[in-house]
Structure 1
């Protein structure tokens, strides 16, 4: 089966992530770009067969800017970062779904998960980073950083939000200036990075979700 991966602002390959503090960065001032240098994160998790998984998120950065029209109904964030997963022994398969959740008048700090719990990658309506979505109060949407194009057994194109690696102990990816666009939100807005990861070894399979620190989009 042939796979062609399209990365939205991504470079390199495969990932890892992190549970974080529930603190939210302070909101940006009006009509000015605000840059958030978000804290690096590391977390370890031990699978049922003893495999130790280490997740890291480093160099995460968000540049939030208002619309050219100066209205809070249009906002953009440009996000960058690096995700790394390291295992104590080789895995048969690692799958990573990296992205960001954007919410309108939703407290994303209350979303949490570690180990086998957290965000279901299919639990939110999704959009590709680099696009803009319209949200009303209480709504949230996931922006996915990966659009992997695969040919199925019948030769038909299939799009996937994950990257798959086989027979690896370490995997990483970097993304640079991926755009999160928001329209229609008249109140405060937040964004928060996430990665859902599935690891399969000879004797165990584990799904994990990890979150970055929320930041304000205004």
Structure 2
């Protein structure tokens, strides 16, 4: 083999290796997680205020590449300012009744405490929830008010589901915090576009009953 031939073979191998590396890099970036930083917000009622900050989402496609499932890890901080609440103890929890039973409830319910603070996400499959103001019809996926484990949400086309991440009973006046960091939500059986939007609800009891909702900015989950 001549020196010119050897040089040509070496150049061919170098080009082939570069193309392979570029293809691998392209595959890695195509399957990379998408990080979404979301704006904070504030909602006020009579003598109460909710503030959401540090909200973000990290969205991943299914490792099975089946097109009907995806995973998102969500984080956020909720602060409740309630300096004028009249004290009231919480009774036994009856759980959430859900939007279908109680339209406009955001899937949350009080149990006699001075106030109940709930936070979670509204998830829709092939549904535009950008203009949501409250009271969507849908079913609440039963979940414990805990950040442990993975919350699995089965969604068919046209479904909208309220997923509660955590709930806190407020029994007296004060300032309260509720946070979640990389809480994992798996969306299954959605064969098309899916979207999510954070919600936080504070509901008071007593003579002045009020329900204040704070919604976040919608974001795509694939």
Give a deviation string over 1:131-176, Cα, whole Å, max 9, x none: 2222121012222113xxxxxxxxxxxxxxx321111221111111
CA contact (8 A) 2:43 2:213 kept: no
**1:127-166 equivalence runs, <5 A:** 127-128=142-143, 130-146=150-166, 162-166=167-171
Matches within 5 A, 1:20-35: 30-35=30-35
The higher relative CO (CA closer than 8 Å, separation ≥ 6) is in: 1
**Among candidates 95, 101, 115, match of residue 94 of structure 1:** 115
How far did 1:70 drift? 2.4
Within a 5 Å distance, the mapping from 1:176-187 to structure 2 comes to 176-187=181-192
Q: Which of 129, 145, 170 is equivalent to 1:108? A: 129
Shift of 1:88: 4.2
**TM-score, normalising length: structure 2:** 0.66
Which residue number corresponds to residue 37 of structure 2?
A: 37
Where does 1:119-130 land on structure 2 (aligned, <5 Å)? 124-128=139-143, 130=150
More strand by share: 1
**Structure-1 separation of matches of 2:30 and 2:188:** 16
Change (3 A) 1:107 1:72: same
Q: Which has more helix, going by share of residues?
A: 2
User: What root-mean-square deviation, in Å, do the aligned CA atoms of Structure 1 and Structure 2 show?
Assistant: 2.1
Q: Distance in 2 between matches of 1:56 and 1:44?
A: 9
Q: Distance in 2 between matches of 1:85 and 1:68?
A: 38
* 2:197 alignment partner in structure 1: 192
Contact 2:116 2:203 in 1 (8 A): yes
Say if 1:137 and 1:100 are closer, same or farther in 2 by CA, change over 3 A. Answer: same
CA gap of 1:127–1:31, structure 2 versus 1, over 3 A, is farther
Contact 2:72–2:221, Cα closer than 8 Å, also in 1: yes
- 1:8 is matched with none
5+ residue gaps, structure 2, are 1-28, 88-113
Distance verdict in 2 for CA 1:212–1:198, change over 3 Å = same
User: For residues 64 and 82 of structure 1, what CA distance do their matches in structure 2 show?
Assistant: 19
Q: TM-score, normalised by structure 1?
A: 0.68
Contact 1:64 1:77 in 2 (8 A): yes
Contact 2:124 2:194 in 1 (8 A): yes
- 2:110 alignment counterpart: none
Aligned to 1:79: 74
